[in-house]
């Protein structure tokens, strides 16, 4: 009886966990190097992400920070949209309204003395490009869009 009860509890726990969805975030990876170009391995750093509207020097619509530790190769991975919010509301960004740019700032000492690293345009990914075609297709494509959205 105890085994059955334990198995039931574990099953319910896994079932509840499987219904949880990650926010609509996107991934970002970078290799962190110092000014001499040397990899900064296994070190706590701070990153600031800014999302700008229309251009590299456009209007700030969202900003967040991340405290991360680089791996042996200086690699750091982020989920943009899951950081500590400084400005704006990530869920209210209308991605279809205009072009957006991602600006990165880093403090390699893990504080808040950020150094500007650059700005680059956010580009479409294959899932997003396919999603544009689904709205004009049959029900099978709509089902595929729903599956893609569940994955993301």
State whether 39 and 97 are in the same domain.
Answer: yes
State whether 70 and 27 are in the same domain.
Answer: yes
Q: Token pair for residue 104?
A: 């990165």
State whether 49 and 34 are in the same domain.
Answer: yes
State whether 51 and 88 are in the same domain.
Answer: yes
Task: Give residue 26's pLDDT.
Answer: 87
Chain segment 30-63, per-residue pLDDT in tens = 999 988 999 999 999 999 999 999 999 999 999 9
Place of tokens 């004009």: 136
- CA–CA distance from 89 to each of 67, 74, 123 (Å)? 19, 30, 20
**DSSP per-residue codes, 5-49:** HHHHHHHHHHHHHHH----S-EEEEEE-B-TTS-B--S-EEEEEE
Task: Give residue 17's pLDDT.
Answer: 47
- CA–CA distance from 18 to each of 32, 81, 87, 96 (Å)? 34, 21, 31, 30
83 within some domain: yes
132 within some domain: yes
Q: Token pair for residue 44?
A: 């706590």
Total domains present in the chain = 2
- With a pLDDT cut of 70, the percent of the chain lying above it is 66
Task: Give residue 149's pLDDT.
Answer: 58
Note down the domain range covering 35. Answer: 23-121
Average pLDDT, the chain: 80
Task: Give residue 107's pLDDT.
Answer: 95
Cα(54)–Cα(57) distance, integer angstroms: 8
Chain segment 72-87, per-residue pLDDT in tens = 999 999 999 999 999 9
**52: number of Cβ within 10 Å:** 21
Phi first, then psi, for residue 90 (nearest 5°) are -55, -40
> In a 3-state reduction of DSSP, which class is residue 73?
coil
């Amino acid at each position: 009886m105890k085994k059955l009860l334990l198995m039931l509890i574990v099953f319910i726990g896994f079932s509840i966990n499987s219904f949880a969805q990650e926010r609509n975030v996107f991934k970002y990876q970078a290799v962190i190097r110092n000014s001499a170009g040397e990899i900064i391995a296994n070190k706590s750093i701070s990153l600031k992400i800014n999302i700008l509207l229309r251009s590299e020097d456009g209007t700030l619509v969202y900003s967040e920070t991340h405290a991360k530790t680089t791996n042996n190769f200086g690699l750091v991975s982020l989920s943009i949209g899951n950081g500590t919010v400084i400005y704006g509301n990530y869920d209210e960004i209308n991605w279809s309204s205009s072009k957006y740019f991602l600006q990165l700032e880093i403090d390699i000492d893990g504080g808040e003395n950020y150094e500007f690293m650059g700005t680059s345009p956010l580009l479409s990914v294959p899932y997003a490009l396919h999603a544009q075609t689904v709205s004009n297709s049959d029900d099978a494509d709509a089902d595929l869009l729903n599956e893609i959205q569940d994955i993301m």
